[in-house]
């Protein structure tokens, strides 16, 4: 598994001189929130601040700064000049002047990256990653593979759990994989706020895993792939044989992704399920008035 933090470290180490482009302030409607950032080298970028022309302007300014000579240390009354050479601020109205119609305003801070700033970025990314919500995908079949690919692009810690080693081959590098003969046991050890998506190759195994997940009243989401008949069969078993309750069963989402779109292709199911899971995670784990981890970098 290659974490997003490791990808950041690799970019910091392998691109030479870099500029950090951050959203320092916003007013009105804007593409990204305060704290969104990207890294810019002379030939590559990492991350995004969104906004089309806004981002292009910031990249151009960052590369102008990178192309200039490295700043020299200066003393006395000229000390401010050194700061100006390594830092710039753009205050951009998102209107017709730059071909956008958001109507808001964005302040962008651009700084050349030195060793202390790089260390702060890594520390902030590690803190953010440590608090990512978890998504457990049980089953690495066609839909499981597609769902793993979908969540690999999202700000979550994805885990695919299987009883078959071959089913874990080819998973995205940013998704964790676990091979176990008892996947239902993984449910018990999952962090609070986890989303569980159950789509194994065995209906009986699905039922065991779902039953364990529904006992977790701190789960953000419990979803099972299948038909109305499968859901009805599970309900009958869950209430009569698994000591489940109606209230617990009511929390089950099945089929995952809903039934509004009549398309059973794995990629379509995965896209719908990923949106459903992300909505549940945001709702369950919402924490108002919590600063973005990268705000600490900007304040430094």
Q: List the CATH code of the domain at 134-284.
A: 3.40.50.720
8 Å CB contact between 258 and 272: yes
Q: Which of 2, 18, 44 has its CA nearest to residue 121?
A: 18
Q: How many CB atoms lie within 10 A of CB 197?
A: 31
Mean pLDDT of 65-81: 56
- pLDDT of the residue at 70: 62
Tell me how far the alpha carbon of residue 130 is from its chain's centroid.
12
Which element (helix H / strand E) includes 159?
Answer: strand 157-162
Global confidence as pTM: 0.82
8 Å CB contact between 199 and 141: yes
Q: What are the domain boundaries of the chain? A: 4-128, 134-284
- Look at residue 232 and give its three-state secondary structure: helix
8 Å CB contact between 160 and 171: yes
Q: Whole-number mean pLDDT of the chain?
A: 89
Q: Which of 129, 124, 114 has its CA nearest to residue 294?
A: 124
Q: Which of 22, 16, 15 has its CA nearest to residue 47?
A: 22
Q: Is 281 exposed, middle or buried (0-12, 13-18, 19+ CB in 10 A)?
A: buried
> How far apart (Å, rounded) are the C-alpha atoms in residues 99 and 252?
46
- Look at residue 153 and give its three-state secondary structure: coil
> How far apart (Å, rounded) are the C-alpha atoms in residues 137 and 260?
22
Per-residue pLDDT reduced to its tens digit, 24-64 = 999 988 889 999 999 999 999 999 998 688 999 999 999 99
Name which of 95-99, 173-177, 220-224 the model is least confident about: 95-99
8 Å CB contact between 71 and 60: no
Per-residue pLDDT reduced to its tens digit, 202-235 = 999 999 999 999 999 999 999 999 999 999 999 9
Name, in order, each residue with C-beta under 8 angstroms of 278's C-beta and a sequence gap of 6 or more. 154, 156
> How far apart (Å, rounded) are the C-alpha atoms in residues 267 and 136?
18
């Amino acid at each position: 598994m290659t974490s997003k933090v490791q990808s950041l470290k690799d970019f910091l180490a392998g691109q030479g001189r870099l500029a950090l482009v951050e959203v320092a302030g916003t007013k009105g409607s804007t593409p990204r929130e305060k704290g969104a950032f990207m890294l810019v080298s002379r030939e590559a970028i990492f991350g995004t601040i969104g906004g089309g022309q806004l981002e292009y302007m910031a990249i151009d300014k960052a590369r102008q700064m990178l192309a200039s000579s490295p700043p020299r240390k200066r003393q006395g009354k000229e000390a401010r000049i050194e700061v100006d050479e390594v830092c710039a601020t753009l205050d951009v109205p998102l209107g017709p002047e730059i071909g956008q119609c958001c109507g808001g305003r964005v302040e962008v801070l651009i700084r050349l990256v030195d060793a202390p700033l790089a260390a702060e970025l890594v520390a902030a990314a590690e803190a953010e990653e440590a608090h990512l919500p978890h998504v457990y995908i049980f089953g690495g079949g066609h839909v499981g593979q597609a769902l793993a690919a979908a969540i690999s692009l999202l700000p979550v810690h994805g885990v695919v759990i299987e009883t078959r080693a071959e089913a874990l081959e080819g998973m995205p590098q940013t998704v964790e994989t676990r091979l176990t003969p008892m996947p239902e046991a993984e449910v018990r050890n999952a962090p609070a706020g986890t989303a569980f998506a159950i789509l194994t190759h065995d209906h009986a195994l699905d039922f065991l895993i779902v039953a364990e997940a529904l006992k977790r009243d701190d789960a953000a989401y419990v979803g099972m792939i299948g038909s109305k008949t499968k859901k009805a069969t599970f309900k009958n078993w869950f209430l009569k044989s698994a000591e489940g309750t109606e209230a617990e069963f009511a929390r089950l989402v099945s089929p995952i992704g809903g039934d509004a779109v009549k398309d059973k292709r794995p990629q379509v199911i995965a896209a719908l399920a990923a949106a459903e899971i992300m909505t549940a995670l945001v709702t369950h784990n919402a924490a108002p008035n919590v600063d973005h981890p990268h705000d600490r970098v900007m304040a430094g």
